[in-house]
Amino acid sequence: MLSQVPMLLADAAADQDAGVKKMAQLSARLAYAMMCLTLCWGVLIATGWAQRLTGRQELRNGHMVLATAALAFGSLHAVAFTLLQTAAKFSFAKLVLPFLFGGFFRHGLGIVGLELMFAIAITAGLRRKVLYRRWLRFHQLAYAAVTLTVVHSWLGAVANGNLAVLWLAGLTILIPTATIAAARFAPPETLARLGLVERTGRPQDEVAAEASVLDVSVNNERCHRYGICMQEAPEVFDLIDDDRLTYERRPHPDHYAKARAAARACPMRAIELRERVR
């Protein structure tokens, strides 16, 4: 009877590990999906496309909910490896400090990606307490964090024999995510030709020919200092150190196109442009 105890314990440990691995697998897939949706929704809000599609301005809560879900499922996936009973068990130190305790390269990529996402989420709550432009640049590291985590997911799928599932479901989510992220950095003229944004105003050469003047104003009640306008038209808009937005009320004609792009991208629709002929 006593000789069977080690076998029973081994079977119980194997059953527990099987359940833990299933939990880790399910949480990983959910984290992957939430992460891609978070990136897509963030780009749609930052560019103003989400408001254009829905007619609503206050849509950032959805982005935060998706980001929280991605972090929660990603954390569950990581913690699950500490519950294993076999030699594959991870210590908390190994989960926090990648590449220092051996292990696979893909594990280190996932840990770095998840920790970077946590850092971005924490600093999001401190946005108004730090220099805004520095926070904005740091927030854009989310693209790198998503890239690291996607590579981690695909390498893990290859190693665990789940590539067929990720090949179908993963690509279905990843392709539109990558497309939207790439469109975020495309020139406004390219987006207009593709029909992703509306053409506003006349072409720049016609404006110059007629010697028109573009007046820029910002509704301070609507403006939330997100800094999207500064990204689109740094020659026209600028967030100074005390988090105040300064801008050129009458920009140079060479900057008209960028000013219009900034007005289109503003998620709060706070930028008003008035064009008049001299």
The whole-angstrom distance between residue 93's C-alpha and the CA centroid of its chain comes to 27
Residues 115 and 175 in one domain: yes
- Per residue of the chain (278 residues), what is the pLDDT tens digit? 445 444 444 455 566 677 778 888 888 888 988 998 888 888 777 666 666 665 555 566 777 888 899 999 999 988 888 887 665 667 778 888 887 776 778 888 888 999 999 988 888 766 655 555 666 778 888 888 989 998 888 888 888 777 776 666 677 788 888 888 887 777 766 666 655 555 544 444 444 434 578 899 998 878 877 788 888 888 999 887 667 788 999 998 888 888 988 888 887 788 989 887 66
Rounded to 10 deg, the angle between the 105-124 and 60-80 helix axes is: 140
C-alpha span between 31 and 72 (Å, rounded): 8
Q: Do 53 and 60 meet the contact criterion of CB atoms below 8 Å apart?
A: no
Full-prediction pTM beyond 0.85? no
Residues 181 and 232 in one domain: no
Q: Is the Cα torsion angle 170, 172, 177, 182 positive or negative in sign?
A: positive
Residues 90 and 198 in one domain: no
CATH number at residue 229: 3.30.70.20
C-alpha span between 148 and 234 (Å, rounded): 29
Among candidate residues 185, 207, 233, the one where a domain is terminated: 185
Residues 87 and 141 in one domain: yes
User: Measured between alpha carbons, how far is residue 36 from residues 44, 185, 210, 222 in Å?
Assistant: 12, 17, 46, 29
Domains: count for the chain: 2
Tokens of 75: 């954390």
Residues 50 and 100 in one domain: yes
Residues 71 and 155 in one domain: yes
C-alpha span between 164 and 34 (Å, rounded): 20
pLDDT digits (tens, 9 = 90+) for 93-142: 888 888 777 677 888 888 899 999 998 888 876 665 555 566 677 888 88
